[in-house]
């Protein structure tokens, strides 16, 4: 990681985090779509179960109406009231039957629908014969047909309807269980991926933070040591990023300062040596100056003595001149 610059490193870290978030979003979306599909299957199966329940209840209602007509002894009022209702319900049953035959795709369901259709046809045929017998006024034959043919046919018809209803209920229960299992799997997968993504994000954050703060701390230590005058640390790094450039620049600065300090120390030593030589020369010069001053004092004393002698000589010469002048004057007088 230290081979990458800080910018690409941060970009890569954020890109990985965004990719993880995108992956989590994709998994969540897929789980949601799967759950929606499972829920739709449950709804469809529940709808088929409701249609099967309606079919069974409608059949029982019509059977009860047949029993009402039979109990009325072919009363025209009862017959006129119930037969139109039975026809309406039979039409609705036919619609429900066609719908279920189109929607149910399982082999067991198709087989049951085939048996139900056959038993319904048998029941409808016996029911028609029963009503025809009643219409012809054969009460005894109708009663015998009711107990010996119509009711057994209705029971067989209803039994297969209940089998189909139980099959639909089992299918709904299995679909609900499958939907719950799918949801639980998706939740588990999402949580696992979230934990993995969170862990990876934390590792990336730790690595990136460490790769930035560690060399910065090293640079701060080097700066403080240089500020304190300690130039002993050897600053080296294999990093190729901006922080590596910073550490190498600090190393170059330390090397330059070390060289400058060495030059200053060398110059200081030279200055110290020269100062010592100058001090020694000054001492010699001072001694010579003192000797010269002493000589000058002696010379001054000699000059004073010489001056006194010269003054005396001048006085003597002046006196001699006066004497000579006097003598000359006397001589002049004596010659005249």
> Where does the pLDDT of residue 3 fall: very low under 50, low under 70, confident under 90, or very high at 90 and above?
low
CB 235 within 8 A of CB 262: no
> Domain residue spans in the chain?
6-213
Average confidence (pLDDT) over 4-8: 69
Q: Report how far residue 208's alpha carbon sits from residue 275's, in angstroms, rounded to the nearest whole number.
A: 58
> Where does the pLDDT of residue 145 fall: very low under 50, low under 70, confident under 90, or very high at 90 and above?
confident
Instruction: Check residues 179 and 160 and name the one with the higher pLDDT.
Output: 160
What is the SS3 assignment for 219-269? Answer: HHHHHHHHHCCCCCCCCCCCCCCHHHHHHHHHHHHHHHHHHHHHHHHHHHH
- Is the full-model pTM beyond 0.85? no
6-213 maps to CATH 1.20.120.30: yes
pLDDT for 331 equals 67
- The 10s digit of each residue's pLDDT in 69-119 is 878 776 788 878 888 998 899 999 999 999 999 988 889 999 999 999 999
Instruction: Check residues 69 and 292 and name the one with the higher pLDDT.
Output: 69
Highest mean pLDDT among 34-43, 49-58, 274-283: 49-58
Helix (H, G, I), strand (E, B) or coil at 130: helix
pLDDT for 118 equals 93
Asked whether residue 236 carries a pLDDT value surpassing 80, the answer given is no
């Amino acid at each position: 990681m230290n081979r990458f610059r800080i910018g690409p490193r941060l970009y890569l870290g954020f890109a990985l985090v965004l990719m993880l978030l995108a992956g989590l979003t994709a998994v969540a979306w897929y789980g949601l779509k799967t759950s929606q599909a499972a829920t739709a299957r449950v709804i469809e199966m529940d709808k088929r179960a409701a249609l099967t329940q309606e079919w069974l209840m409608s059949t029982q209602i019509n059977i009860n109406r047949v029993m009402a007509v039979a109990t009325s002894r072919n009363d025209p009022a009862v017959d006129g009231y119930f037969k139109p209702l039975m026809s309406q319900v039979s039409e609705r049953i036919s619609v429900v039957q066609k719908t279920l035959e189109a929607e149910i795709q399982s082999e067991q369901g198709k087989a049951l629908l085939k048996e139900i259709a056959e038993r319904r046809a048998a029941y409808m045929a016996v029911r028609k014969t029963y009503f025809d017998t009643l219409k012809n006024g054969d009460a005894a034959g109708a009663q015998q047909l009711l107990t010996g043919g119509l009711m057994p046919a209705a029971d067989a018809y209803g039994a297969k309807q209940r089998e189909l209803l139980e099959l639909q209920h089992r299918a709904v229960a299995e679909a609900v269980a499958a939907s719950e299992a799918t949801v639980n799997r998706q939740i588990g997968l999402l949580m696992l991926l979230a934990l993995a993504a969170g862990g990876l994000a934390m590792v990336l954050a730790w690595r990136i933070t460490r790769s930035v703060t560690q060399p910065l701390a090293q640079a701060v230590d080097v700066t403080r040591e240089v500020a304190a005058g300690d130039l002993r640390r050897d600053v080296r790094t294999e990093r190729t990023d901006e922080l590596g450039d910073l550490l190498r620049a600090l190393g170059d600065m330390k090397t330059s300062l070390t060289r400058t300090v060495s030059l200053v120390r060398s110059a200081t030593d030279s200055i110290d040596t020269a100062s010592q030589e100058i001090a020694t020369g000054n001492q010699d010069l001072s001694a010579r100056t003192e000797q010269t001053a002493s000589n000058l004092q002696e010379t001054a004393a000699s000059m004073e003595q010489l001056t006194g002698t010269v003054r005396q000589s001048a006085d003597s010469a002046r006196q001699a001149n006066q004497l000579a002048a006097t003598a000359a004057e006397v001589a002049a007088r004596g010659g005249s």
